[in-house]
Amino acid sequence: MEELPLDFEVAPAAPEREDALQLSLESWEGPLDLLLALARNQKVDLKQISILALVEQYLSFISEARELKLEVAADYLVMAAWLAYLKSALLLPKDPLEDPSPDELALRLQLRLQRLAAMRDAAARLLARDRVGRDVFLRAKPEGLRDVRVRRWDASLYDLLSAYGQVKLRSEPVVHMVSRRPVVTLDAALHHLQRMLGVKLDWAELSDFLPVDYDGPLRRSAIASSFVAALELARQGRVELKQEGAFEPLYLKAAAMGQGA
Amino acid sequence: MIDDLERAIEAMLFASDEALDARQVANRLGGEMTPGDVRAIIQTIAARHAGSGIELVERGGHWHFQTPADLAHLLRRERDDPRKLSRAAAEVLAIVAYHEPVSRAEIEAIRGVQTSKGTLDVLMEAEWVAPAGRREVPGRPLIYKTTDAFLQHFGLTSRKDLPGVDDLRAAGLLDPVDLAFEEAMGELDLVKDGEEA
Amino acid sequence: MIDDLERAIEAMLFASDEALDARQVANRLGGEMTPGDVRAIIQTIAARHAGSGIELVERGGHWHFQTPADLAHLLRRERDDPRKLSRAAAEVLAIVAYHEPVSRAEIEAIRGVQTSKGTLDVLMEAEWVAPAGRREVPGRPLIYKTTDAFLQHFGLTSRKDLPGVDDLRAAGLLDPVDLAFEEAMGELDLVKDGEEA
């Protein structure tokens, strides 16, 4: 891969030409701008302008520039080619079938030039108006209108007292007490269930096997433990289980001895 | 004796660092006046200052105090014109002002050249031109319009105040080329018809 | 009809970025007027604006336009911006109220956490807490107390209206948060029942 030269020679600047043509070409903003300048040289109203004469001027301008080996940007050449076509079409005997007709093309060009000229004049008139900071002046340091936001703090007496409560609590010695939760262990449930199975002979609901004085979380714990215990006893073949459907009551019965083992 | 409300509105307009419209003034007064009431009082204040060294002027519905243009020579000091516009920028500004809202492609169609990126940027930075949404045509191009700051800077009461805008409109010079072309051809046909008749 | 010289001087004083004295105005006018002449015209201008929403005032021989002081409320409009006091600020406020007068170090000792400077500032901005001199101990720290505005905002006649610690405890405000939660769930009673069973 070729390395880029770090210290390349800068091409010498092109010698300054005392050539108005070149300077002019650079000072135009595109072919339409140049056309408008040439049109204005005709010193007639743009409505009466001779498009043919304008085309002639443009083409000779561009060809002169090329003879002087000036670089002519592509869009100027495109316009030159189009104008050359327009010129020949305007000069040739009219072909009524040609669409669009050269007259129409010329009219379009004329309309475009009129519009550009109108906006150029408008810009000049706009810039000539009395402008702020140049012709008319405002106050240098106005006081200004201000909207000042005033913060209004809000809190209720409850906020205040509960905040103080928290402070007091934080500063009191902290004692952690772990509360023992009421549970029925699996062992206890197994033991209890086996005992009860000896008493109840027919099908009975699981909840009937629970101690009657259990309620609340302790009862929930007993149900869970007893259920697991029932499954364990069933696995051992010591109990039969029956349920009509999902979420229906679960019935237990001691397995008939002799058939199981 | 100048009435209290008039004094208040005068002070507000004088102290504000930007032009105010009647609604802003009414709001600041506490909302008991309608913008219409405020406008009437502003007219009174403007009339009182007419012909003095301080003028109250309207720009796009907003009012501000400024010095009269005929005193510019006394007030203009060795300051550079901070808003020196290139010819291209001035042309683009005029096209936006007279055709608004206008897309970049429409600007370029009139000027016959591409608009360099910097040109519109300069106008937007000066806050004279601002985007005004998109045109609902294929490609949904951004369209541009001029701002109240534009009216203020160039001393225009409203867009109707643009120099020569009525003449340009009457002459069809603000119409697109296609429309103007069809009209011109229509007239031509009429002439031909007339000749044949 | 206002005279041209008067208009010019008026515009000059209006557009200037600093107050001007008679000599400066005379110089800008081209030096054909004496400062005395200028001063006379300035007086005329000032008299013309007297009682309006714009005043031409003299400050040490220099003149400038301003808006009258009695209209300042229109130029500087205040708007409420309600904010909820933070938890930390509420704690500090409560400590000041219960222990006043109290120094910042004492507040921190009671809270058990560092107190940012902004917290006390907020309370002073709210005008609920004010400095109450210095404590005559080494370092002479500033001490703070609550204000009448504090009593008023919280609907208290005096500081004695603040509930005592026992009242707070009775109201459950001294219960630890997690304990209160369990109580709400009703589990504590069950433990007791379970143990009894």
* Per-residue pLDDT tens digits for B167-185: 999 999 999 888 888 888 8
Q: What are phi and psi of B174, to 5 degrees?
A: -100, 0
For residue B109, pLDDT beyond 90: yes
Cα–Cα distance between B96 and B103 in angstroms, integer?
Answer: 9
**Residue pLDDT, tens place only, A60-75:** 988 888 887 777 788 8
Q: Which of C29, C66, C67, C77 to mutate to test the interface with B (most CBs of B within 10 A)?
A: C67
For residue C143, pLDDT beyond 70: yes
**Residue pLDDT, tens place only, C76-108:** 877 778 888 888 999 999 999 988 889 988 898
B83: confidence class by pLDDT, cuts 50, 70, 90: low
Which residues pair with residue C21 across a beta bridge? C62
Angle subtended at Cα C66 by Cα C61 and Cα C70, rounded to the nearest 5 degrees: 115
Residue pair A169/C179 in contact (Cβ under 8 Å)? The answer is no
**Residue pLDDT, tens place only, A223-233:** 888 888 888 88
For residue C182, pLDDT beyond 50: no
- Overall residue count recorded for chain C in this entry: 197
Using the CB atoms, write b or e for A67-98: b if 16+ within 10 Å.
eeeeebeeebeebbeebeebbebbeeeeeeee
Cβ distance A162 to C173 less than 8 Å, yes or no, reads: yes
Residue pair B120/B104 in contact (Cβ under 8 Å)? The answer is yes
Of the candidates B80, B22, C145, the residue with the CA atom closest to the CA atom of residue A134: B80
Neighbours of chain A (3+ CB pairs under 8 A): B, C
Cβ distance C173 to A167 less than 8 Å, yes or no, reads: no
Shortest alpha-carbon distance between residue A111 and chain C (Å) = 46
Q: Which of C16, C17, C125 lies at the smallest CB-CB distance from A151?
A: C125
With tokens 């209290």, the residue in question is: B4
Instruction: Report how many Cβ contacts below 8 Å link chain A to chain B.
Output: 130
Cα–Cα distance between A93 and C52 in angstroms, integer?
Answer: 79
- Overall residue count recorded for chain B in this entry: 197
Residue pair A81/A74 in contact (Cβ under 8 Å)? The answer is no
How close are the terminal C-alpha atoms of chain C, in Å?
Answer: 109
Cβ distance A154 to C84 less than 8 Å, yes or no, reads: yes
Q: Give residue C168's pLDDT.
A: 79
Contacts with A33 from chain B: Cβ below 8 Å: 111-113
Q: Give residue C123's pLDDT.
A: 92
For residue C180, pLDDT beyond 50: no
Question: For the packed helices B117-125 and B87-99, what is the interaxial angle rounded to 10 degrees?
Answer: 70
Of the candidates A180, A179, A181, the residue with the CA atom closest to the CA atom of residue A220: A181
Cβ distance B74 to C8 less than 8 Å, yes or no, reads: yes
Cβ distance B29 to C2 less than 8 Å, yes or no, reads: no
Which residues pair with residue C142 across a beta bridge? C134
Q: Which of A139, A152, A218 lies at the smallest CB-CB distance from C194?
A: A218
Cβ distance C67 to B9 less than 8 Å, yes or no, reads: no
Average pLDDT of chain C to the nearest whole number: 83
Using the CB atoms, write b or e for A191-229: b if 16+ within 10 Å.
ebbeebbeeeeeebebeebbeeebeebbbebbbebbeeb
Q: Give residue B51's pLDDT.
A: 94
Q: Give residue B195's pLDDT.
A: 52
Q: Give residue A261's pLDDT.
A: 38
With tokens 């609901």, the residue in question is: A205
Q: Give residue B191's pLDDT.
A: 60
What would the two tokens of residue B152 be?
Answer: 């203020």
B194 inside 8 A of chain C by CB:
no
Residues 6+ apart with CB under 8 A from A125: B163, B164
Residue pair C120/C151 in contact (Cβ under 8 Å)? The answer is no
In eight-state DSSP terms, residue A145 is -
Residue pair B157/B59 in contact (Cβ under 8 Å)? The answer is yes
Residue pair B62/B20 in contact (Cβ under 8 Å)? The answer is yes
Look up the ipTM and state it.
0.70
Q: Give residue A209's pLDDT.
A: 78
Q: Give residue A143's pLDDT.
A: 85
**Residue pLDDT, tens place only, C11-37:** 999 999 889 999 999 988 887 889 999
**Residue segments in chain A with a per-residue pLDDT below the cut of 50:** 1-23, 258-261
For residue C183, pLDDT beyond 90: no
A137 inside 8 A of chain C by CB:
yes
Cα–Cα distance between A108 and C63 in angstroms, integer?
Answer: 62
Q: Give residue A8's pLDDT.
A: 32
**Residue pLDDT, tens place only, B31-64:** 788 999 999 999 999 999 999 999 999 999 999 9
Contacts with A163 from chain C: Cβ below 8 Å: 87, 90-91, 93-94
**Residue pLDDT, tens place only, C125-141:** 888 999 999 988 888 99
In eight-state DSSP terms, residue A132 is B
Residues 99-138, chain C, touching A (beta carbon < 8 A):
110-112, 122-123, 125-126, 128
Sequence letter at residue C139: G
Which conformational region is residue B158 in: left (phi greater than 0), alpha (psi within -120 to 50 degrees), or beta? beta
Cβ distance A139 to C168 less than 8 Å, yes or no, reads: no
Cβ distance B9 to C54 less than 8 Å, yes or no, reads: no
Cα–Cα distance between B71 and B55 in angstroms, integer?
Answer: 12
Cα–Cα distance between A152 and C134 in angstroms, integer?
Answer: 28
Q: What are phi and psi of C23, to 5 degrees?
A: -65, -45
